[in-house]
Amino acid sequence: MVSRKSLYVLSVGVSILVAPALLAQYSAGGERIYSPLTAETFHRVAREVSTDAVGDKDPAAEAMAFLNAAMDLDPRATYLYEDMLVLGSQSAEAEAEDVSRFYDVFRKYITKTSNFEVLRQAVRYMLSTADTRQEREDLLLRLIAVAGVKNPVLTSELAAEYGQLAVEKADFENARKNFEQAYHYNEYNQLAFARFDELLRKEDLALSPAVYASNLRRAININPLSIEAALGFAQYCEEAGVYDVAAEAYEYAADLFEYLSPDRDPPVSIYLPWALMSYNTPNLRAKCLDAAARVRQSGRFDIRMEALAGSAAGKMGNIELSKDIFAKAGRRAAQMLGDGAVSPQVTALELGWFYSFANPNDEQALAWANRAFMADPNAPGAKAIFAHVLAMQGEYDLAGEYAAGIENDQIAQLTKAMVRLSEKKTSDAIEMLKAAIAMDPASLVAQKAKALLAENGSDYILPTLPEIVREHLKKEFGKKVLSRFRPARDIFSVKLNLGGSNYSYGSEFDADLIITNKSPNPIVISDSGIFKGNIRVDAVVSGDIMQEIRQLISKKAVPSLPIEPGHYASIPLDLMTGKLRRLLLAFPQASVEVEFIVYLDPVPDAAGEPTNFLKEIEPVRNVLKREGVNLTRQYFMQRLDTLAGGQEGQKNRAVQLFAGLLVERDFMTRSGSLYRYIRVERPILVDAVKCGLTDANWKVKVQAMESLGLLSGSLDYELTRAVSSNLSDDPVSYTHLRAHETSLHLVCRLLLE
């Protein structure tokens, strides 16, 4: 008995050996060989061969032989390009001719809609064939010229790669230019931006704050579910003084945190700066109350949050609410502290700060600052707040003594300035006030320092002009620089389009995975994105046949360009392949349903079963139905007649049907009937298959050979003899179809078994 794998190799091996001999009859007359149908056959064969390693042969190299043959038969078959690049990148037996053809296919494959992952693999492969650094540099320059504007993302990747080579040989000027070019072509190339910035700093140069802010904002587009990206943008906007945008970003981060960790307490590291930025933005001060309410709802108490909430209410004109918030916060903090200076949620130092800057009260400020100082006299924070309280009460000499020697503390710096003002040293005081503000320009301490500056005829100007950064961001991202956080289900949707719900035996069907952008921002599919492009498809067959096929497809598909708001990306999936294809073709009279399950960035769940990395996005499902062939006598006779006088395509479909009926019959004979079917005498089916194998049309003969891949367990002496007779053709050399010499040896060995 010949195994399925051996049988399959036998059939395809004969196909590629027979084709040159038969086609030579036509090529001798100068006519170019052309057969799109046979090219499609070789394409299917290549996909099957690529997963079946036989002996010590390289499956990718074997598959490439068929793809090259297919390309020779149909030079306009652009659908071959992707597989030629994927399999060519995997081949370990490439020769100079192969690399040259690979480069030519790569050049033709490049468009703005190409699968970027395929392009990236192809580039790595071509670079691996270069033996020296100079060869790699020359190749990269050629590839950059080829990619150009046809695929800016690829051009960016290539320029960054060239820049890295320049860094390795310390050519920093050339490296900087290439990283700049890489960022110019693709503003989502975070690596290129980082390296460009790094090299600029080596020359004591820097990009403008507006450019930095834009790059950090794009990082949120790349992965809207990244806390790090949201906080990075928020913190930079805070430092740049763009408090309104920073407030939006911190709120985004707060909502994102609740989405990712609904069972965890809200982190003050997010909520406190959100409240602070909102407080510094007049039309957003109500958000301070929202932030404080969220923290209270978690059961936590934070005196700083209460200070901002009360201050915001006062700025909004709601004095009663402000007083109420301050009073409740002060009482609760005092109760928590009791006679001590520290409790789990508040300290005497923080309460001293509260009465100094949020709800000014000299008596309370002194009492709590004194308690903090007595508990730890050497703590800089305690000394600073105590010194400030002394200055508040006019004890400037003592305040100066306690504040002296404390560096890098905003309260101490403010206190020193107050002492200078008491000494009428206004110029020194103004410089000290500005230095104090610069330590944290948005804080309540800075607010007091700004008031003192104004009283003394001066004001504070941020080193970065917020208006410039703000306008740049609005110009690039819209009036609403950062929209409210959206959960994954509101960012994109996914569906599997099968082009219909029914198909008939022997026909092919198209499948596309449609990813639609539902958000107001572009979606960037990449290794660091919300979706990395990893796709797995399982198939569950039910009805007359029950079968679960895991990992029918496992691939990575990365659109080259971002998916713009309201648009979609269509990723083609070849679902009629592998085990499913063989199963459906081998049982023509079976009525089945095939449920396809598509996983995005699949990961195992607790039970080890596949699920989506984004749990909120359910795996995509769709069902395809196929009614079994109604094998009436009239239908059967028509197909037999087709073998004698039909067109090429009709003959191909007829041979495929008879091969399937033969497999179906033999299986039922061995294992028992799975369903009701019309039984045809075996000699009739064998003769029908042999008829295709001996057809005068070489294209039909090749198609018939491919159909033999179904006949696991059904290849008897008669069929073997029909196959072997094809080997008697004189193997005339044909430059358009390349066959490995080992294919003939393998076929002969299998026939002798």
Q: How confident is the model at residue 741 (pLDDT cuts 50, 70, 90)?
A: very low
What are the CA-CA distances from residue 1 to residues 6, 510, 712 (Å)?
10, 35, 9
Token pair recorded at residue 14: 């004969």
**CA 115 – CA 684 distance, rounded (Å):** 47
Does the pLDDT at position 750 exceed 60? no
| Helix spans in 57-208 (H) | 59-73, 81-90, 96-109, 116-128, 133-147, 152-168, 172-185, 190-202
Note the pLDDT tens digit of each residue in 355-410: 999 999 999 999 999 999 999 998 889 999 999 999 999 999 999 999 998 999 99
171, burial (CB in 10 Å: exposed 0-12, middle 13-18, buried 19+): middle
Predicted TM-score (pTM) of the model is 0.87
Calculate mean pLDDT across residues 286-290: 95
Note the pLDDT tens digit of each residue in 622-643: 999 999 999 999 999 999 999 8
Note the pLDDT tens digit of each residue in 109-122: 999 999 999 999 99
Does the pLDDT at position 190 exceed 50? yes
pLDDT of residue 19: 45
Q: How confident is the model at residue 730 (pLDDT cuts 50, 70, 90)?
A: very low
Q: What is the DSSP string of 42-96?
A: HHHHHHHHTT---TT--HHHHHHHHHHHHHHH-TT-GGGHHHHHHHHHH-S---H
Mean per-residue pLDDT of the chain = 88
pLDDT of residue 94: 58
pLDDT of residue 708: 77
**What residues contact 401, with CB distance under 8 A and at least 6 apart?**
387
Note the pLDDT tens digit of each residue in 54-79: 555 678 888 888 898 899 889 999 99
Q: Cβ atoms within 10 A of the Cβ of 427, count?
A: 10
Note the pLDDT tens digit of each residue in 444-487: 999 999 999 999 999 988 888 899 999 999 999 999 999 999 99
**What residues contact 111, with CB distance under 8 A and at least 6 apart?**
150, 151, 560
Q: Which residue has the higher pLDDT, 246 or 752?
A: 246
pLDDT of residue 723: 65
**CA 129 – CA 88 distance, rounded (Å):** 12
Does the pLDDT at position 350 exceed 90? yes
Judged by DSSP in three states, 687 sits in helix
Contact between residue 625 and residue 593 where contact means Cβ atoms under 8 Å apart: yes
**CA 193 – CA 611 distance, rounded (Å):** 34
**CA 528 – CA 220 distance, rounded (Å):** 11
